[in-house]
Structures are given as C-alpha cells and as structure tokens.
C-alpha cells in the first residue's frame, strides 16, 4: 500500500504557507534544492502537479490547494500524537502582530485552545495598523503577522480569506442623508482609505467626527452615536451592527493575510497559524 511521506507533506504545507521554496527552506532549515526535491517526489507519488509557474515563482494550483487542506489535517494529527508522548514541552515566546480589531474578535477564541496545547509558550501580542506591522524593518520583530491587504490576492499563499468590508454603527444610529459622519483610525488605515475613496466616488459629502487608532476607542465613539466606521465583516463587534443606507456606498472586499516567519519555534508557530486560519474562516462564514 502506498504511503505519503509526512516530511514531504510538511515541506509542501510550509511552501504554501510561506509563499515560496526559499522561504520554506529557511523556515525548515533546509536548502531550496532539498525542498524542491521533496515537492517533486510528492508530485511523482500523487501523479499530479501541485504548483504552476507564474513568472518567476511557483504558484499553488487548485489540486495543490485541495491537498493542502488534507495535509494540514494529517500533520495536525501527527503533531498531536507526538505532543501527547513528548517528555518536554515547547517553551518560549511567540510574537504576534495584528490590527487591534482582530485582537478583540479573533484572539479570545483561540488563546484558550492554544494555551492548552502549548502551556509553556507565551504569546506576546502587538496591535498596530497593517502598514506599520509590515514595515520592512519592523516586521522582523514578529514570528507571525496578521494583516489587511487593500488589493486582495486569492491565490497568494499568505491570503487566509477575502472578507467583505461593511459599514458599522450603533444599532440605534441613523445616518444623515446630508453628510456622513465618520469614526476612523488615523491616516494609513486601509478602512479609512477605502471609506473616503468610495464616498468621494459616489459624490457623497462626509466629515470625520472622531479619530482613534485603537478599536476600543472607535467602538466607544460608535456607541455614543458619533458616526459610522468601516470594518471587515469577520471582525464585527457583537454590540455593534452592520448598517445599510442610501448615503453609504458599497465598499468591496479586503484581503486578510497571515505571514509566518518564525524559525525559533516553528512547530508552535505553525500550530498558532492553523488556529488563526480556522477561526477566521469560521468568523467569515
């Protein structure tokens, strides 16, 4: 009976999640040719190509994405078995950077499960605008980064999902037909930029009534009826509501991407990435 190599599957999953053979090699501590050979052997065993060349890079294809979902599950089972019997637990600190709205909507649902799986791994979370987190110099500070992408790329390996942008307000708030009052983050925020672009394109007057970089401050202002804001649908707070009005034009979609770049604690990093992807897909459903 044929048997798949879990080592080759792990190389394949890492290539998909890291966005390339070289990055996967750096993450796993192997050379790029070694990773390429593992992918080739996996493709030969399955009799299917898993990647298609697009320009200078290899892009995972539809059959590869189908395998990816199953491979993640197989590796999770494998890792869970070893974790049950390993004598020493993983320890250390994982540094996660993400926009503040994901800290309130996403983290509470995964922190408990992650802590049970890795009780000796400390999770250090930093909240900031996606633009700041992905700054070339600053991004080195993190093991994982969850960030928004103004130009969604569904075939990019880092893209977890494309989410609808929605207008959000206090359930009792009624927008004005005259001028839209906006509660927004400072310049550099993708939500703010999209809101202004769409309002201007629709020739809809607007004004900024309140600015705050933190989702907590924005939420407080919305509860006081200071206006409306824009969020990804998956991050909609429970005490606020999606709002539709003739003065509020459609906003389109935004990409949500996850960058895994840790070589200190790769096992724990990939497990946390798995939790984040799973929960995001549930929230967006």
Residue 2 banded pLDDT, cuts 50, 70, 90: confident
Q: Which residue has the higher pLDDT, 233 or 153?
A: 233
pLDDT of residue 152: 67
- pTM of the predicted protein model: 0.66
Q: Walk me through the domains of the chain, giving residue ranges and CATH numbers.
A: 1-87 (1.10.10.10), 89-285 (3.40.190.290)
Mean per-residue pLDDT, 13-40: 85
Sequence-ordered alpha helix ranges (H) in the chain: 6-18, 21-28, 32-46, 62-85, 100-105, 107-117, 130-133, 190-201, 215-223, 266-284
Rounded percentage of the chain residues whose pLDDT exceeds 70: 92
The pLDDT score that the predictor gives to residue 92 is 77
189: helix, coil or strand? Answer: coil
Q: What is the pLDDT of residues 83-141, one digit of tens each?
A: 666 544 667 789 999 999 988 888 887 887 788 778 888 899 999 999 999 998 898 89
Mean pLDDT of 19-45: 86
231: left (phi over 0), alpha (psi -120 to 50) or beta: beta
């Amino acid at each position: 009976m044929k048997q798949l190599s879990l080592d080759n599957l792990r190389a394949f999953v890492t290539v998909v999640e890291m966005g390339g053979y070289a990055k996967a090699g750096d993450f796993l501590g192997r050379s790029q040719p070694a990773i390429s050979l593992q992918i080739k052997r996996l493709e030969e065993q399955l009799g299917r190509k898993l990647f298609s060349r697009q320009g200078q890079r290899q892009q995972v294809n539809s059959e590869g994405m189908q395998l990816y979902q199953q491979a993640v599950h197989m590796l999770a089972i494998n890792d869970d078995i070893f974790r049950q019997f390993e004598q020493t637990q993983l320890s250390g600190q994982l540094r996660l950077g993400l926009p503040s709205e994901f800290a309130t909507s996403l983290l509470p649902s995964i922190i408990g499960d992650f802590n049970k799986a890795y009780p000796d791994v400390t999770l250090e979370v930093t909240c900031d605008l996606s633009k700041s987190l992905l700054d070339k110099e600053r991004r080195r500070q993190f093991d994982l980064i969850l960030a928004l992408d103004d130009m969604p790329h569904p075939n990019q390996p880092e893209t977890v999902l494309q989410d609808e942008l929605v207008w959000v307000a206090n359930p009792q708030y009624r927008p004005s037909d005259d001028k839209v009052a906006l509660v927004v983050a400072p310049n550099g925020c993708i939500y703010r930029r999209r809101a202004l672009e769409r309002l201007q394109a629709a020739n809809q007057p607007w004004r900024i009534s309140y600015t705050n970089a933190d989702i907590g401050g924005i939420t407080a202002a919305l509860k006081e009826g200071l206006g409306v804001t824009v969020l990804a649908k998956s991050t909609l707070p429970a005490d606020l509501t999606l709002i539709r009005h003739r003065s509020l034009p459609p906003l389109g979609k935004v990409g949500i991407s996850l960058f895994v770049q840790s070589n200190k604690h790769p096992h724990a990093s990939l497990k946390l990435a798995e939790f984040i992807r799973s929960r995001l897909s549930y929230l967006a459903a």
